[in-house]
Amino acid sequence: MKHRPSALLALVWAGMWGLVFATPVNNAHGRNPASPPGSKLLYIMLDGFRWDYVDLQSAAVLPGFTKFLKEGVRARWTHPLFPSLSYPTWTSLVTGQYAENHGVVGNYFYDSATKEEFSLFDVYASLMKMTGVNVYKHNDIPEKYHFKNNKYVHEIVVSAEKGNFVMASHSDKQLPARSDFVYYGAHGYDPDVQDMKGIFFAKGPAFQKGKIIEPIHVVDVYQVLTHVLGLTPQPHNGTWNHVQDAFVQSTPATHDESLQRHQC
């Protein structure tokens, strides 16, 4: 079969460490008029791409991005997930679900072999004495994070405030000592911290040209992918209203999409 030129390209932020992938898909369904059958979707995730990085450079420094945005659509920013870490975010981007639903709640998984006996109360009491962190008992994790209703979420969750960094004292995951390492950036902070916001750029026949839409949420991206490919989305937490202005014709959501809409 002849390959058409790549019809669509979406760039999406996803946490801090790098991953880029591309998925050509042949669409045989044609259920959805967002793009003609046989269109391809190239989906690139750029990790650690803060929402305003492209605006901090002159157009001449980033000619590719400048051209892309002139020909495509951009959300003002993408609101991250809690936790604003890579693995949970990648999973939300391709499922449209919050971490409490898809279950990938962190970048690292607890090794039960190293489990130590401790009193939850003592741990909580000493954590509460620390400055620069927010400490939540499981039941007190704010609802807006859509995080607590999952069995893998621990009894206590600690979230550093901007400008602070939590390091393990005896771990091969420990970062180098402060004195000889410069932190240029980090992720995992509260999704409401503006520095945590990411990007959503998209271009192709399905999308508006040179348009900026209002901020979207990480869980909104999945429905963009399925809409473009004409696939029926699985149940997800995206909101169609957040993304509909990105498309050339505001095609009404399919029946399946309208069923999945959750206002947040």
Ligand X SMILES: *[C@@H]1O[C@H](CO)[C@@H](O)[C@H](O)[C@H]1NC(C)=O
Binding site for ligand X (CB under 6 A): 97-98, 101, 146, 235-237, 262
Nearer to ligand X, 7 or 218 (CB): 218
Residues whose CB falls within 8 Å of the CB of residue 98, separated by 6 or more in sequence, listed in order: 81, 92, 146, 147, 219, 237
Q: Confirm if 46 and 62 have CB atoms less than 8 A apart.
A: no
CB of 140 to ligand X, least distance (A): 18
Residues whose CB falls within 8 Å of the CB of residue 246, separated by 6 or more in sequence, listed in order: 73, 75, 202, 207, 208, 211, 213, 224
CB of 224 to ligand X, least distance (A): 17
CB of 65 to ligand X, least distance (A): 32
Compute the distance between CA of residue 199 and CA of residue 48 in angstroms, rounded to an integer: 10
CB of 143 to ligand X, least distance (A): 8
CB of 162 to ligand X, least distance (A): 26
| Residue from 63, 152, 159 nearest 112 by CA | 152
CB of 219 to ligand X, least distance (A): 8
Nearer to ligand X, 74 or 146 (CB): 146
With CB atoms as reference, the residue minimizing the distance to ligand X is 235
Nearer to ligand X, 50 or 242 (CB): 242
Nearer to ligand X, 204 or 238 (CB): 238
Nearer to ligand X, 78 or 237 (CB): 237
Nearer to ligand X, 171 or 234 (CB): 234
Angle subtended by helix axes 86-95 and 221-229, to nearest 10? 40
| Residue from 135, 137, 160, 164 nearest 148 by CA | 137
